[in-house]
Chain A
Amino acid sequence: MKNNYSIFSLLKNSISYHENWQQAWRDPEPKKEYDAVIVGGGGHGLATAYYLAKKHNMKNIAVVEKGWIGGGNTGRNTTIIRSNYLWDASAGLYDHALKLWENLSQEINYNVMFSQRGVMNLAHNLQDVRDLKRRTHANRLNGIDAVWLSTEEVKKFCPIINTSPDIRYPVLGGTLQRRAGTARHDAVAWGYARGADAMGVDIIQNCEVKGIKRNGNAVEGIETNKGFIKTKKIGVVAAGHSSVIANMAGIRLPLESKPLQALVSEPVKPIIDTVVMSNAVHAYVSQSDKGELVIGAGTDAYVSYTQRGSHDVVEGTLKAILELYPIFSRMKMLRQWGGIVDICPDASPIISKTNIKGLYFNCGWGTGGFKATPGSGDLFAHTIANDEPHKLNASFNINRFVSGDLVDEHGAAAVAH
């Protein structure tokens, strides 16, 4: 059994100058065969492994990661967690995740610093108001704690927002989900890794998948830079690189991979104590526990795996930030970066079996996968273990692109009278 983490273990270890902490996870070489292999050591993949071991008693499993765990979108996102989605299927999925977040630190004995500071979504035109009210009504009936705020209430909740009616796109109100918030992204990956490792899961870093071996219509294993690993079940959770793995298996997915950028400011004393998102002008901002303003920019409109986007996108985002928060003009961008997100045509994820036996995909999270991490892992584990989806992810199957039963979370189409 590993060290339990607590204030007492910190005190105890301080006496020995912290020389005796055990490693949070091992660094094993791959075995010849596993009952299941998860491809991708991000938050979703590690959570999948954790729940496979914990809830489905599958302990002879491995997570293979091309680089270092949590190094993809888990470590690059703006950490917003919320569940105020429109459609029943999405609300079910994301609220399942949110409920898991609420107990996650205790569950995995790793403080993921889940902070329920609330998330506001702002409306800037009349159609925004209709759409957000529609969402709020649906949320309320689905038991999700989102409420509509008037412009004055928005101002009261976050006083630094410029709610003047004279700005180019005035704030006409917004929604607030108080249970929503942020978490420490790296800790999620590390905490799940530590938890999974403790149950015997092999987490194999610097292990790149080179091919998927099939026997007819069933998988037999994966080729990696560390050799062949035999397995009957492969769960792919490779985010931006999902299509690359799919191509190895000879299938195509309804995905496009695009650069998504984010940036942080230099750290300042607390100035904004909630998360504010504005779709219409595209400005997402919160403040990290270090004091940095964490700002999400948009995706570029073209496929790219470069993990860098164009400057225009950053400029556009900061333009919107200054429109809503003119006081930030003298704040400084400290660091900007990009990740690769895989986007589905209906802006909803895929957590699904495929036509190939033993091959499962968890992908298509686009710009919003972090918030779903625990739920996504739990449901994907269920799907892999039972070879059947859970009812909460049944709608997120690949076949919806054939039948037309999409879960369109773009919000209303961007066209109006």
Chain B
Amino acid sequence: MSENFRSLETKFLDKTNRISFKYNGKKYYGYKGDTLASALLSNGVHLIGRSFKYHRPRGIMTCGSEEPNAIVQIGGNSSFTEPNVRATEQEIYEGLEASSQNCWPSVEFDVGGINNFISPIIPAGFYYKTFMWPKKLWYSLYEPAIRMSAGLGKSPTQTDPELYDHNHLHCDVLVVGGGISGVIAASISSDNGNNTVLIDDKSSLGGTTIFQDDENFKINDEKSSVWLNNKIKELENKKNLIIKHRTSLAAYHNYNYLLARENLADHKSLNERSNKLRQRLWKIRAKKVILATGAIERPLIFNNNDRPGIMLANSVKKYIDYFGVRCGNKNIIFTNNDSAYETAISLNKKGINVTIVDIRNSSSSMLVKNAKNAGIKIYWNHTIVDTKGYRRIKSIQIMEISEDGTNVIGDKINLVCDNLSVSGGWTPMVHLFTQSGGKLKFRDSDQVFLPNTAMSDQISIGSCNGDFELDDIIKNTISDCKNFLSSSTTDFDLVKVNCPKQKESKNIWLLPNDKPLGKTKPFLDFQNDSTAKDVKLAMREGFRSIEHVKRYTTTGMGTDQGKLANMHALGIISETAGVKMGSLGTTTFRPPYTPLTFGTIVGRNVGAFFDITRKTPMHDWHENNKAKFENVGQWKRAWYYPKDNESMHQAVQRESKAARDSAGILDASTLGKIDIKGTDASEFLNRVYTNAWSKLGIGKCRYGLMLNEDGMVYDDGVTTRLDDNHYLMTTTTGGAANVLSKLEDYLQTEWPELDVWLTSVTDQYATASVCGPNSKNILKKLFPDVEFNDENFPHMSYKNAEMDGINCRIMRISFTGEHSYEINIESKYGKSLWEKCMEAGKKYNITPYGTETMHLLRAEKGFIIVGQDTDGTMTPIDLQMDWIVSKKKYDFIGKRSLYRSDTMREDRKQLVGLLTDNPKEVLEEGAQIVQDEKKQPIEMLGHVTSSYFSPNLNKSIALAVVRNGKKLKGQKLYVPMKDKTINVTVSDFIFFDSKNERLNA
């Protein structure tokens, strides 16, 4: 392992910047710009991990995001760690720690490797056929064992210390992919005056052309890589162009809405990550999109094609030409097309031993001639029938292919090697195109799916559009971009290209073997260990749809989402079923293109920013006075104010007593407030509430109940007539937004003839509700100019008044049953108002109370809370609120629904009071109520909706909804709890001051 495989100079790495990192606990070195894969290869490390099912040793196959095998756990501690990171994409940094996954105790000696030996009895879908007997072992043994073997890497177990960000981006043209066609497209687009964004997932632009070392690939008589390098430099000076590196496109939604992840920190050492920002999600809306996402090299499917050291040919080329790393000392190239010859020539030029096995009979291209001239041995018309080497490939066996391509003939030839570079042709990356709703077509000549019709304004260019040779790529990219961007001339119009390759490839999806298929292991999905025989088994068992085969065999369901495996699976299905591939279709390509961290998707919306927090103007006061808060929708409401060491119960009892004995104050600012104006305002209220509004005098208040069109109670609140055509409606805290939307809906769509205008003023006013026998005295002190006697300012009326020159609206209304006032003031004065109330009430022991006490006090009075005593199934009649349902009004929202056969039933669930036999026993809210405990199945009559110990009555009280409850008054019922049964009696639901004498006290 001490041998250095980086024997070659390369301009792409910073060789002055040597970096140390740890892999499986051992220290290694690489250079700035290395990926973990290239750095490991330079140290001669090929064995990276174990496969999911059979735990077979696996190595690095590729150099990009399609990597199925070389996925590792990054980061040494439990908060920074990240599972399933592709070593081929992870750039190394000083101090990087990586380790192998899915192996125990180590990647060299993995106990799970035993699965490989029992593989004959665990083919695709075996688990559907077994583990059923005896049944109890399923729970005690089989299922736990299956679950234990789940997964590859390990989840972090601590909170992520890094941050994520979101940003919006609007542009004329988005170019995805910075290979040669993307660079040309970005250049044409920006020259044409378009605001252009070019994104590329690598650290630098140039794709595969940028490391093309072969002098025979020429553009304008320059080496193609030199030409491209100059073009990239020119891009830097373009005015209308933004280039985003290390940014990968994750999703392409309809209407050209795209998501891209920019990687800001993963290539930096932990010390360098000073601003903590790790990744940024770009939400892009582009007028036009140019996809230049490239193509991925296909593997070939033969027996034991999965060993460490078996790699894709173009990746081997990148490792040598870009990273300066040789993947072996004795290389064999196995190919069905010309492109692998580029790798062979490159290796040969660098003095590395190379042999070629080609399944074709011949190729007459210049490239192949060059290979021959260089003295490279080529086995034409041969295929690999087996490979050897457990932790690293050691040798291969090849045989000649029969004339029809279905069999092998002749003698086996054994070839020794330590690297096998495979090329099965190219698969265009059409994932993003199909994500956007595009439809594909199939090209028979080289068996590829290509973009056909797009749903949005976009084109695909370069190899993702099926152009694999340099001359085609450049010619078509230029002409397609000109058309798409309506540009007449470009800098590239006179470009001359020289490409020495031949296009013909020979495609055999599953290569023939001398052994029966059952005895071989030709892998399709390397990560999930699904083989060609699994696909054939699935088809034999009746799974004919590609989606069925995928699901039954798990082909294409690994972390690479089938980027390598899917085409071969399709090919084998098509051959086996005798159906043309074009008509077979593909499985759906689902976003994201490459896995996306949850953190990136969520961005800054974590912790305190998870959701908006709405606070009332008096919030600080509550906080300073030790209030406990309750979440009500997005609002923080003061729940209760414990003094000293009071429990919640003690605090609530104290607050409730004080409010009835002298004075209490509640922050009611969160109630929804809707300002209603217009000549038809009264008529509007008539239609939306169940009761009548036309005769409400100016300066008077009225309680209203609002239904859904289905007749069920939706919201309630007090509305005040401020003026002839001006009302102020209040709603529940949680219902405010929905009520406004609903009212606007009716107004704009059903009753446009009404002259009514609605404005939400919830945030504009703060409200302090002062109640209790001394409330009047406190108000008098606050508003000395206002007459507070009952004739002048009776219950359910309102007055304007000033406090220190600031206008206030005072409503004399009550939710506690006490003499009570609600003072509304502009929000910014809310806190002062509150403090003045506290000051004025000092001598009356004014006691701030929270929502819990409010609930208790109103329950004593039998006032409902919509959402607690109702659940969307209660009509006003059910609530025994017949008095509020106008019989005279022709119509109101929900009226018709009250007259349906079920809503008219007399024995519906109805609101009642419940008293426990033991007055100290408080019922649990939500507890169920029955009449006959013995009956089976037990019949539940209803449930407890609100329940408290009332300090003012010194007994437990509860509200409940009970079937036929109206008629059950005085009857004994039972509340069966887990450990006991509580006896209750149905009562009236007004427990306190049923004559409303205290309102005027």
- From B130, B257, B517, B734, give the contact of A417 (CB < 8 A): B734
**In the complex the two chains form, is A205's CB within 8 Å of B545's CB?**
yes
Q: What separation, in Å, do the CA atoms of A306 and B253 have in the docked complex?
A: 12
Note all chain A residues with C-beta closer than 8 A to B597. 329-333
**Residue A1, interface by CB 8 Å:** no
Q: What separation, in Å, do the CA atoms of A110 and B130 have in the docked complex?
A: 8
Contacts known (A23-B542, A67-B545); A270 close to B148, Cβ less than 8 A: yes
**In the complex the two chains form, is B128's CB within 8 Å of A110's CB?**
yes
- From B121, B548, B611, give the contact of A10 (CB < 8 A): B121
Contacts known (A5-B128, A21-B541, A404-B903); A266 close to B598, Cβ less than 8 A: no
**In the complex the two chains form, is A330's CB within 8 Å of B599's CB?**
yes
**In the complex the two chains form, is A17's CB within 8 Å of B630's CB?**
no
Q: What separation, in Å, do the CA atoms of A315 and B631 have in the docked complex?
A: 23
**In the complex the two chains form, is A417's CB within 8 Å of B541's CB?**
no
Note all chain A residues with C-beta closer than 8 A to B446. none
Note all chain A residues with C-beta closer than 8 A to B748. none
**In the complex the two chains form, is B151's CB within 8 Å of A330's CB?**
no
**In the complex the two chains form, is A413's CB within 8 Å of B872's CB?**
yes
**In the complex the two chains form, is A270's CB within 8 Å of B127's CB?**
no
Q: What separation, in Å, do the CA atoms of A290 and B517 have in the docked complex?
A: 27
Contacts known (A68-B547, A270-B151); A331 close to B559, Cβ less than 8 A: no
**In the complex the two chains form, is B928's CB within 8 Å of A289's CB?**
no
**Residue B82, interface by CB 8 Å:** yes
**Residue A303, interface by CB 8 Å:** no
Chain A minimum-CB-distance residue to B560: A334
**In the complex the two chains form, is B84's CB within 8 Å of A27's CB?**
no
Within the complex, the shortest CB–CB distance from A231 to chain B, in Å, comes to 24
Contacts known (A9-B129, A124-B631, A333-B592); A141 close to B976, Cβ less than 8 A: yes
**In the complex the two chains form, is A267's CB within 8 Å of B160's CB?**
no
Q: What separation, in Å, do the CA atoms of A287 and B601 have in the docked complex?
A: 20
**In the complex the two chains form, is B147's CB within 8 Å of A22's CB?**
no
Note all chain A residues with C-beta closer than 8 A to B554. 290
Note all chain B residues with C-beta closer than 8 A to A322. 598-599, 602, 606
**In the complex the two chains form, is A321's CB within 8 Å of B630's CB?**
no
**Residue A75, interface by CB 8 Å:** yes
Query: 1/0 per position for B140-164, CB-CB distance to A under 8 A?
Result: 0001001110111111111110101
**In the complex the two chains form, is A68's CB within 8 Å of B926's CB?**
no
**Residue B584, interface by CB 8 Å:** no
**In the complex the two chains form, is A416's CB within 8 Å of B541's CB?**
no
Contacts known (A328-B598, A336-B590, A404-B711); A269 close to B155, Cβ less than 8 A: yes
Contacts known (A27-B542, A273-B147, A413-B867); A291 close to B152, Cβ less than 8 A: yes
- From A110, A131, A271, A416, give the contact of B632 (CB < 8 A): A416
Q: What separation, in Å, do the CA atoms of A266 and B560 have in the docked complex?
A: 10
Q: What separation, in Å, do the CA atoms of A169 and B630 have in the docked complex?
A: 10
**In the complex the two chains form, is A24's CB within 8 Å of B542's CB?**
yes
Contacts known (A23-B540, A413-B871); A311 close to B257, Cβ less than 8 A: yes
**In the complex the two chains form, is B127's CB within 8 Å of A105's CB?**
no
Chain B minimum-CB-distance residue to A103: B135
**Residue B578, interface by CB 8 Å:** no
User: Which among B87-95, B347-355, B894-902 touches the partner chain?
Assistant: B894-902
Within the complex, the shortest CB–CB distance from A164 to chain B, in Å, comes to 10
Number of interface residues of B (CB under 8 A): 126
**In the complex the two chains form, is B611's CB within 8 Å of A105's CB?**
no
Contacts known (A17-B519, A133-B924, A415-B867); A410 close to B121, Cβ less than 8 A: no
Contacts known (A110-B128, A415-B866); A311 close to B158, Cβ less than 8 A: no
Contacts known (A329-B599, A417-B732); A17 close to B533, Cβ less than 8 A: yes
**Residue A11, interface by CB 8 Å:** yes
**Residue A45, interface by CB 8 Å:** no
**In the complex the two chains form, is A111's CB within 8 Å of B976's CB?**
no
**In the complex the two chains form, is A269's CB within 8 Å of B153's CB?**
yes
Within the complex, the shortest CB–CB distance from A413 to chain B, in Å, comes to 4
- From B156, B928, B977, give the contact of A327 (CB < 8 A): B156
**Residue B308, interface by CB 8 Å:** no
**Residue A268, interface by CB 8 Å:** yes
**In the complex the two chains form, is B128's CB within 8 Å of A134's CB?**
no
**In the complex the two chains form, is A332's CB within 8 Å of B595's CB?**
yes
Within the complex, the shortest CB–CB distance from B671 to chain A, in Å, comes to 9
**Residue B788, interface by CB 8 Å:** no
**Residue of B127, B152, B598, B611 with most partner-chain A CB within 10 A:** B598
Within the complex, the shortest CB–CB distance from A11 to chain B, in Å, comes to 6
- From A110, A130, A315, A415, give the contact of B734 (CB < 8 A): A415
Within the complex, the shortest CB–CB distance from A415 to chain B, in Å, comes to 4
User: Which among A183-191, A218-226, A349-357, A379-387 touches the partner chain?
Assistant: A183-191
Q: What separation, in Å, do the CA atoms of A416 and B154 have in the docked complex?
A: 42
Query: 1/0 per position for A47-75, CB-CB distance to B under 8 A?
Result: 00000000000000000000111110001
Q: What separation, in Å, do the CA atoms of A19 and B127 have in the docked complex?
A: 18
**In the complex the two chains form, is B595's CB within 8 Å of A266's CB?**
yes
Within the complex, the shortest CB–CB distance from A275 to chain B, in Å, comes to 13
Q: What separation, in Å, do the CA atoms of A140 and B978 have in the docked complex?
A: 8
Q: What separation, in Å, do the CA atoms of A115 and B855 have in the docked complex?
A: 43
Q: B interface, by DSSP: helix, strand, loop or mixed?
A: loop
- A179-209 at interface with B (beta carbon < 8 Å): 184, 186-187, 190-191, 205
Chain A minimum-CB-distance residue to B735: A415
Note all chain B residues with C-beta closer than 8 A to A330. 80-82, 156, 160, 597-599
User: Which among B205-213, B476-484, B682-690, B937-945 touches the partner chain?
Assistant: B937-945
Chain B minimum-CB-distance residue to A293: B155
- From B129, B517, B714, give the contact of A111 (CB < 8 A): B129
Contacts known (A125-B632, A406-B873); A186 close to B551, Cβ less than 8 A: yes
Note all chain B residues with C-beta closer than 8 A to A14. 120-121, 123
**Residue A239, interface by CB 8 Å:** no
- From B151, B517, B540, B867, give the contact of A21 (CB < 8 A): B540
**Residue A155, interface by CB 8 Å:** no
**In the complex the two chains form, is B130's CB within 8 Å of A111's CB?**
yes
Q: What separation, in Å, do the CA atoms of A227 and B552 have in the docked complex?
A: 30
**Residue B851, interface by CB 8 Å:** yes
Contacts known (A332-B595, A415-B714); A18 close to B123, Cβ less than 8 A: yes
Note all chain A residues with C-beta closer than 8 A to B606. 319, 322-323, 326, 329
Note all chain A residues with C-beta closer than 8 A to B940. 88, 138, 141
**Residue A251, interface by CB 8 Å:** no
Note all chain B residues with C-beta closer than 8 A to A326. 159-160, 606
Contacts known (A11-B121, A21-B541); A271 close to B561, Cβ less than 8 A: no
Note all chain A residues with C-beta closer than 8 A to B169. none
Q: What separation, in Å, do the CA atoms of A124 and B610 have in the docked complex?
A: 14
Note all chain B residues with C-beta closer than 8 A to A115. 143, 147
Task: List chain A positions with a Cβ less than 8 A from chain B.
Answer: 5-7, 9-11, 14, 16-19, 21-27, 67-71, 75, 88, 103, 105-106, 109-113, 115-116, 124-127, 129-138, 140-143, 160, 167-169, 184, 186-187, 190-191, 205, 265-271, 273, 281, 287-291, 306, 308, 310-311, 314-315, 318-323, 326-337, 345, 400, 402-406, 408, 410-417
Known: A134-B926, A267-B52. 20 other contacts (CB 8 A): A5-B128, A24-B542, A25-B542, A70-B548, A71-B545, A105-B138, A109-B132, A138-B940, A187-B128, A268-B153, A268-B154, A288-B150, A311-B259, A323-B606, A329-B606, A333-B601, A405-B902, A413-B871, A416-B735, A417-B865
Task: List chain B positions with a Cβ less than 8 A from chain A.
Answer: 52, 80-84, 120-123, 126-133, 135, 138-139, 143, 146-148, 150-160, 162, 164, 251, 253-254, 257, 259, 283, 516-519, 533, 537, 540-545, 547-548, 551-552, 554, 557, 559, 561, 588, 590-592, 595-599, 601-603, 605-608, 610-611, 613, 630-633, 710-711, 714-715, 732-735, 738, 851, 854-855, 865-868, 870-873, 897, 900-903, 924-928, 930, 937-938, 940, 943, 945, 976-978
16 A-B pairs in the complex with CB atoms less than 8 angstroms apart: A10-B122, A21-B540, A23-B541, A24-B542, A25-B542, A105-B132, A106-B133, A133-B924, A191-B128, A289-B150, A290-B554, A306-B254, A318-B598, A334-B559, A404-B897, A416-B734
Can you list the 8 inter-chain pairs with the closest CB atoms, starting with the nearest?
Answer: A17-B518, A291-B151, A134-B926, A329-B160, A133-B926, A23-B542, A291-B150, A332-B595
